[in-house]
Amino acid sequence: MADELTELEQDGQEVVILDKDADSSDDIVSIESTEAPALNPTTDEDLKDIEDSDDTPKSQLNKRLIIIIAFGLLALILLITIIIFSSSKEETIQTQPNSQKDVEPITIPTITQKFQNSKIDSMLIKANKLYESGNKIEALKLYENIALYNESLSKYNLGVSKMNQGLFKDAIETFKEAISNNENITVSAINIAVCALEIGDEELFKYYIDLANAFINRDSDVNLYEFYNALVSFYRGFYIEALHTLELSNSKYYTSQKKYLRSKILSYLHEDKEAIKAIKAAQDYDINLPLGLLYARLGEYKEAKQYLNKALIDEKNAPLTHLAISLIDLKTGEFASTAKILKMLNDNNSTFIQDTYPIKTILNPEIFDINLAQKNYDTNRFFSQNTLYQILFYFTPYKAFDPKQTIEYIRKGGLSLFVDENSVADEYLQTSGAVSKANAMLSQAIFKALNNNLREANSDFLEITKLYPNHSIVQFNLALTFAQLGDFAQAYKHFVTSYHLDPLNYIAGAYAIITAQMISKDSRRLTNEVLDNIELDPNLDQNNIYKAMIQLTQGNESALNNWLDQNRNDSVLNIVFNIISAYVTKRSEIIAPATSKLNEKLPNDVLTNIIYSATRFDTKNIKNYAKDIQIKFLTTKLDKGALYGGASIIRSEYIKLLQIAGLLHKERESIVADLKVSTKNTKDILYTLAYLDLFTGHYEESYTIYNELINNENIDDANTLFLASVASIGANHPDSAIGYLELAKLTNPTYSEARLALGLLYQEVGNIEAAITQYNGLGDSGYKSEFFTFKLE
357-377+617-793 has the same fold as 4-70+86-285: yes
95-to-84, 104, 214, 233 alpha-carbon distances in Å: 21, 17, 19, 10
Lowest-confidence pick of 173-177, 254-258, 608-612: 254-258
Q: Residues 227-252: what's their mean pLDDT?
A: 88
Q: What is the pLDDT of residue 114?
A: 38
Lowest-confidence pick of 3-12, 298-307, 586-595: 3-12
The CATH classification number of 4-70+86-285 equals: 1.25.40.10
pLDDT at residue 436 tops 70: no
Decide which of 341 and 781 is more confident: 341
| Pairing, β 112-114 against β 359-363 | unpaired
Q: What is the pLDDT of residue 158?
A: 79
Percentage above 70 pLDDT, the chain: 76
Rounded Cα–Cα distance for residues 478 and 434 (Å): 20
The amino acid that residue 615 corresponds to is: T
Listed by start position, the domains of the chain span: 4-70+86-285, 357-377+617-793, 379-604
Listed in sequence order, the residues at least 6 apart from 223 whose beta carbon sits closer than 8 Å to its beta carbon are 3, 56, 59, 63, 251, 253
CA-wise closest residue to 50 among 246, 185, 169: 185
Q: Residues 470-482: what's their mean pLDDT?
A: 94
| Top mean-pLDDT range of 275-284, 383-392, 608-617 | 383-392
Rounded Cα–Cα distance for residues 626 and 648 (Å): 23
Q: At 715, give phi and psi (nearest 5°).
A: -95, 90
- CA angle, 654 as apex, 651 and 659 as ends, to 5°? 120
Q: Are 754 and 725 in contact (CB under 8 A)?
A: yes
Q: Which residues of 119-128 are buried (b: 16+ CB within 10 A; e: fewer)?
A: bbbbbeebbe
DSSP readout, 546-567?
A: HHHHHHHHHT-HHHHHHHHHH-
Burial class of 44 by CB neighbour count within 10 A (0 to 12, 13 to 18, 19+): middle
Decide which of 153 and 676 is more confident: 676
SS3 611: helix
pLDDT at residue 179 tops 60: yes
Q: What is the pLDDT of residue 621?
A: 72
CA-wise closest residue to 367 among 66, 785, 11: 785
The CATH classification number of 379-604 equals: 1.25.40.10
CA-wise closest residue to 638 among 666, 670, 610, 673: 610
pLDDT at residue 40 tops 80: no
- CA angle, 451 as apex, 445 and 453 as ends, to 5°? 65
DSSP readout, 250-267?
A: ---TTHHHHHHHHHHHHH
Instruction: Label residue 117 by pLDDT band (50, 70, 90).
Output: very low
Decide which of 339 and 634 is more confident: 339
Rounded Cα–Cα distance for residues 317 and 141 (Å): 51
Instruction: Label residue 435 by pLDDT band (50, 70, 90).
Output: low
pLDDT in tens, 710-760: 999 999 989 999 999 999 999 999 999 999 999 999 988 888 999 999 999
Q: Residues 559-580: what's their mean pLDDT?
A: 92
pLDDT at residue 490 tops 90: yes
Decide which of 522 and 183 is more confident: 522
Instruction: Label residue 81 by pLDDT band (50, 70, 90).
Output: very low
Instruction: Label residue 162 by pLDDT band (50, 70, 90).
Output: confident
Q: What is the pLDDT of residue 220?
A: 76
Rounded Cα–Cα distance for residues 136 and 153 (Å): 26
pLDDT at residue 12 tops 60: no
Q: Residues 466-473: what's their mean pLDDT?
A: 88
Instruction: Label residue 252 by pLDDT band (50, 70, 90).
Output: confident
- CA angle, 232 as apex, 230 and 233 as ends, to 5°? 65
Q: Residues 404-432: what's their mean pLDDT?
A: 53
Q: H or E element: which one contains 789?
A: strand 788-792
pLDDT at residue 542 tops 90: no
Instruction: Label residue 792 by pLDDT band (50, 70, 90).
Output: confident
Q: What is the pLDDT of residue 700?
A: 98
- CA angle, 327 as apex, 321 and 331 as ends, to 5°? 140
pLDDT at residue 94 tops 70: no
Q: Residues 83-111: what's their mean pLDDT?
A: 43
Across 105-150, the runs of DSSP E, i.e. the strands, are: 112-114
pLDDT in tens, 320-353: 999 999 999 999 999 999 999 999 999 999 999 9
Q: At 616, give phi and psi (nearest 5°).
A: -110, 20
pLDDT at residue 293 tops 80: yes
Instruction: Label residue 662 by pLDDT band (50, 70, 90).
Output: confident
Instruction: Label residue 134 by pLDDT band (50, 70, 90).
Output: confident
pTM of the model: 0.73
pLDDT in tens, 357-404: 899 999 998 888 777 777 777 667 678 899 999 999 999 999 877 666
pLDDT at residue 57 tops 60: no
DSSP readout, 712-745?
A: TS----HHHHHHHHHHHHHTT-HHHHHHHHHHHH
Q: Give me the residues paired with residue 43 across strands.
A: 38
51-to-124, 142, 492 alpha-carbon distances in Å: 15, 14, 86
Percentage above 90 pLDDT, the chain: 49
pLDDT in tens, 135-151: 767 766 655 566 556 66
The CATH classification number of 357-377+617-793 equals: 1.25.40.10
pLDDT at residue 510 tops 60: yes
Indicate the DSSP class of residue 193: H
The amino acid that residue 316 corresponds to is: K
Rounded Cα–Cα distance for residues 315 and 335 (Å): 24
Rounded to 10 degrees, the C-alpha dihedral 519/521/526/527 comes to 70
Decide which of 181 and 97 is more confident: 181
Q: Residues 545-574: what's their mean pLDDT?
A: 93
Mean pLDDT of the chain: 80
